[in-house]
Each structure stands twice: as structure tokens, then as C-alpha cells.
Amino acid sequence: MPLPTELLQLLDALPEPRIVVDTAYRILAANAAYRREFGQDPSVIGQTCYQVSHHFDRPCDQCGESCPRQQAWESGCPSRVIHCHHTPRGEEFVEVELFPLRDAGGNTTLFVETMRFLGGKCLPTPVLGMVGRSPSFLQMLELLERAGPSNTPILLLGESGTGKELAAQALHQLSPRRDRPFVPVDCSGLPETLFESELFGHEKGAFTGATQRKTGLAEVADGGTLFLDEIGDLPLTQQVKLLRLLETGTYRRVGGVETLRSDFRLVAATHRDLRCMVEEGTFRRDLYYRISAFPVRLPPLRERREDLPLLVAHLLERLAPQRSVRLSAAAMSRLREHDFPGNVRELRNLLERALLLADGELIEPWHLTGFADSPSGGRAHTADDEIVPLAELERRYLHRALERLGGDKKALATRLGISERTLYRKLR
Ligand SMILES: Nc1ncnc2c1ncn2[C@@H]1O[C@H](COP(=O)(O)OP(=O)(O)OP(=O)(O)O)[C@@H](O)[C@H]1O
């Protein structure tokens, strides 16, 4: 179907790369900005958007990605997602927005797709300091992108080590407050009285040992972001004081009479189920509603195992920039078997230890020691009802045995009654 010339001219005048796709995902037009960014050779006209952007042979939603075309088609409303797209520069993070166009009968017949580059290749280079490209990671990133520039309080939910603090920093960076302070407060580490004086500050002589007036973190965060980490660990008596600060934006220093005001953006985080705590009466309902306007869940590593190679490359680069160390295929598959109850932090610690144990440039499975126990028993240990090929079972057993012997292959070969060479072969 030829598109009206006026529409093509309008698209050409717009600064961001845009294409027009039909209901069969076929690209009907590409504007001047698109042709500049993505090149014209070979022409994309007539190809499908999933072929061009993802090199898929099926629509994204059939390949585990969220498809904005599908969402816009179903809802009739614009739809926005973050994807990794192939570009002439390699794969890059792109925010994709689909705008459905209706015909005179009200049926959606075309979509205008707008692309905005977020910067950062879909390699180990972090976007907003965070590494990943799995669908669940990109969905989370998209929520941060949307919420970042606003003033809405954000509640980050996720297990320990999933990157909640990194996400809070990303929100700060995305906000107009980025040049003002980012102030983290750990609600779990402090005794009740100390929490209050940390958050609100105290006057000189307010209590024994208060020899100086102290500025509270709420005051430091004025104009910036206050990040309340592990908010679910805050005792009820402190919750009420925090609520007052959040509702009125005012507080008093401990021992002070003056009412002070602070204007901060609130980001809170917890690994706990706050709704459940509200039902149990251990977390105030009013505080919960105050902080949970926009919850964002950080996916645990076991739900995004496809991000492991990227994360490993990123962490190795950070931990040992002067060495070019990588993981053997067997070591990577050992990682894939693990559930990572400690998430990215556990992965980082494992790699840090492995770097000390490996002399060469290759990390082998026996250098990966100290896996945290998984509450569910994990996948590393073959469940009784799991049927796996014998060779795989043997390989898993040997890796675990080697771990227990601290990577001493000679000792393991002796204990097994086989030669070291045979052991080496079986471990591969
Ligand atoms: N997506 C990611 N990309 C790169 N590094 C990450 C990512 N997620 C987490 N990390 C790293 O993992 C470690 C733990 O992250 P962080 O402290 O943000 O987790 P957390 O959820 O706040 O943990 P906790 O709840 O225990 O405080 C940090 O070293 C962080 O840099």
C-alpha cells in the first residue's frame, strides 16, 4: 500500500529515526533520520521489523521479548519498550515507541515506530551503570527510565544483591535532581535512637555524647534523592516518624524545637514482602501507601541466566582490568546450574575468589568455590527426579568433588583411582 506523500514528508522532517510498519510487521517506510542512523544499504523497505532489528525469523514476542507492536495492536494505544537492536555499530540499547494509526473505520492498520538510542552497546557496557539484556532486565530498565524524571516515590523490590542500590542511583541520574546529593540511608543497620539522629540530625547536648550539632541525612538530601534501603527492617516506632517526614516534608532535629523542611525525592528498597507485613501489622499501612506509588521489581539472577555471560565479562573487567581473564565453557555452564541466592553480589564474590585461584587467563570450574546454598536446594545438585545423561551427571559430580578439595586435581584423581589426564578429560 503506497503511503501518502504528506506522511512521508512529515516523517522526514522529524529528528528521531522512525519507520512505518503494517499489521504484518512489514516496513513500509523509513524516514531520513533512520536512513542516516541505520544506513540505506540494503534497503529495509519490505522487510519485517523483527528481521531488521533483531535478526529474528519470528516476531519478538514469540522469541521471549516484549513486542510493542503487539501491545499497541491489542490496546490501540501507544506502547514503549527498551530493546537491544542491531545497528551498523553493533547491538545497541534503543527505546522503541509504537504509535498505532487508524483508518477511517477505526481499525489499526499502520504503526509509526520511533527509536531513541539510550547509549551503551548491548555488550558488557552498562546502561545507567547496570548490565543485562534479558527481557526481564529490560522491562525493569524501562520502568526506571519512565519513572526517573518524575518526582514520584519509587519502591524497589528485590532479593539481596539484585542491584537495588544501583537502580536507586540510576533513578537519581535520570532525574532533574542529578546534580544534587544522592543520600543512601540503611534502615536495617542502625539502632532505633541512632536512626533518628542520623536521619534528622541532633542539637548539641541533645543526649550524652552529643557534643556538636549534627546535620541529618534528610537535610543533606535537600534538593536531591533520599534512598531508604531495607525500609522493611524499620521498627514501627521509627516508621511513624518517617511517615511524618514524608507527609509534611518537615522534621525536627533530635533535641531541637525548630521545624525544618527538606525537599527530596524518595526512593525506598526492600527484600521483604511489605504487603504481607502490613497484614501482619509489622509495617504501617499508611507508610506503605506513601512509599509504594510506583513499585519496580528487580529480577533475581536465576530468572535472567542469559545475562550471565555479559555480567561475568563486565565484572571480570572491573575486578581485574589489567588481566584478560575469561571463563572456560565448563565454568560458564557450572554458573548456569547455580541458583544464585546472593544474586549479582554472589557472582561478583565468586569471580573475585576465582581470580585469586586461577594463575592463567582461564577460569575453570574448580576455581569457582564457595557457592551460596540455595534455599530450594538449587539446580547445581541433581534433584532425585531429574533425569540427566550419565556423562553430565559424572561431570557435575566431578566438579563438586573438585570444589570440595579446593581445586586439587591431583588429590581428586588419587581419591577416584584414575589418572590426572583421565580426570582432566572427564571434567571438560
Ligand atoms: N545489573 C547489574 N549490573 C552490574 N552490576 C550489578 C548489577 N546488579 C548488581 N550489580 C552489582 O552487584 C552488587 C550488589 O548490588 P546492590 O548493592 O545494588 O544490590 P542490592 O539489591 O542493593 O543488595 P542489598 O539488598 O543486599 O543491599 C554491587 O557490586 C553492584 O555493583
Does ligand 1 have an atom closer than 6 angstroms to the CB of 271?
yes
By most ligand atoms within 8 Å of CB, the mutation choice from 344, 346, 349, 351 for ligand 1 is 344
- Closest by Cα among 278, 273, 242 to 153: 242
How would residue 380 be classed by pLDDT, with cut points 50, 70 and 90?
A: very low
Q: Is the pLDDT of residue 112 over 70?
A: yes
Contact 296, 142 (CB under 8 A): no
Q: Tell how far the Cα of 283 is from the centroid of ligand 1, in angstroms.
A: 25
Spatial separation of the C-alpha atoms in residues 263 and 225, rounded to whole Å: 9
How would residue 71 be classed by pLDDT, with cut points 50, 70 and 90?
A: confident
Spatial separation of the C-alpha atoms in residues 157 and 274, rounded to whole Å: 9
Q: Tell how far the Cα of 342 is from the centroid of ligand 1, in angstroms.
A: 10
CA atoms within 13 A on the CB side of 63: 12
Does ligand 1 have an atom closer than 6 angstroms to the CB of 160?
yes
**What's the pLDDT at 127?**
60
Least confident range from 24-28, 74-78, 228-232: namely 74-78
Nearest protein Cα to ligand 1, atom 18? 163
- Please give the CATH architecture assigned to the domain spanning 140-297: 3-Layer(aba) Sandwich (3.40)
Does ligand 1 have an atom closer than 6 angstroms to the CB of 132?
yes
Fold of 5-122: Beta-Lactamase (3.30.450)
Looking at ligand 1, which atom is closest to the CA of residue 344? 12
Spatial separation of the C-alpha atoms in residues 234 and 358, rounded to whole Å: 42
CATH number corresponding to 302-427 = 1.10.8.60
Residue 154 burial (C-beta neighbours within 10 Å; 0-12, 13-18, 19+): buried
For 350-375, write each residue's pLDDT tens digit. 999 999 998 889 999 888 987 776 55
How would residue 126 be classed by pLDDT, with cut points 50, 70 and 90?
A: low
For 292-314, write each residue's pLDDT tens digit. 999 999 999 999 999 999 899 98
Does ligand 1 have an atom closer than 6 angstroms to the CB of 164?
yes
Q: Tell how far the Cα of 62 is from the centroid of ligand 1, in angstroms.
A: 30
Q: Is the pLDDT of residue 171 over 90?
A: yes
Does ligand 1 have an atom closer than 6 angstroms to the CB of 130?
yes
Average pLDDT, the chain: 86
Q: Is the pLDDT of residue 381 over 70?
A: no
Looking at ligand 1, which atom is closest to the CA of residue 168? 18
Contact 193, 200 (CB under 8 A): no
Q: Tell how far the Cα of 163 is from the centroid of ligand 1, in angstroms.
A: 3
Q: In what order do the strands lie in the sheet with 108-121?
A: 27-30, 18-22, 108-121, 90-102, 79-87
Q: Tell how far the Cα of 302 is from the centroid of ligand 1, in angstroms.
A: 14
For 382-391, write each residue's pLDDT tens digit. 444 556 777 7
Show me where the domains of the chain are located: 5-122, 140-297, 302-427
Q: What is the dihedral of CA 79, 84, 86, 88, to 10 degrees?
A: 100
Q: Is the pLDDT of residue 106 over 90?
A: no
Does ligand 1 have an atom closer than 6 angstroms to the CB of 348?
yes
Rounded to 5°, the CA angle 237-238-239 comes to: 95
**What's the pLDDT at 167?**
95
How would residue 54 be classed by pLDDT, with cut points 50, 70 and 90?
A: confident
**What's the pLDDT at 391?**
77
Instruction: Summarize the confidence of residues 25-33 as an average pLDDT.
Output: 89
Looking at ligand 1, which atom is closest to the CA of residue 230? 25
How would residue 117 be classed by pLDDT, with cut points 50, 70 and 90?
A: confident
Contact 223, 177 (CB under 8 A): yes
Q: Tell how far the Cα of 121 is from the centroid of ligand 1, in angstroms.
A: 20
Contact 378, 338 (CB under 8 A): yes
**What's the pLDDT at 344?**
95
Does ligand 1 have an atom closer than 6 angstroms to the CB of 163?
yes
**What's the pLDDT at 288?**
97
Does ligand 1 have an atom closer than 6 angstroms to the CB of 399?
no
Looking at the chain, the whole-number percentage of residues with pLDDT higher than 90 is 40
**What's the pLDDT at 90?**
75
Q: Tell how far the Cα of 296 is from the centroid of ligand 1, in angstroms.
A: 15
Does ligand 1 have an atom closer than 6 angstroms to the CB of 158?
yes
**What's the pLDDT at 34?**
87
Is the pLDDT higher at 206 or at 153? 153
Q: Tell how far the Cα of 178 is from the centroid of ligand 1, in angstroms.
A: 20
User: What is the interface pTM, i.e. ipTM, of the complex?
Assistant: 0.96
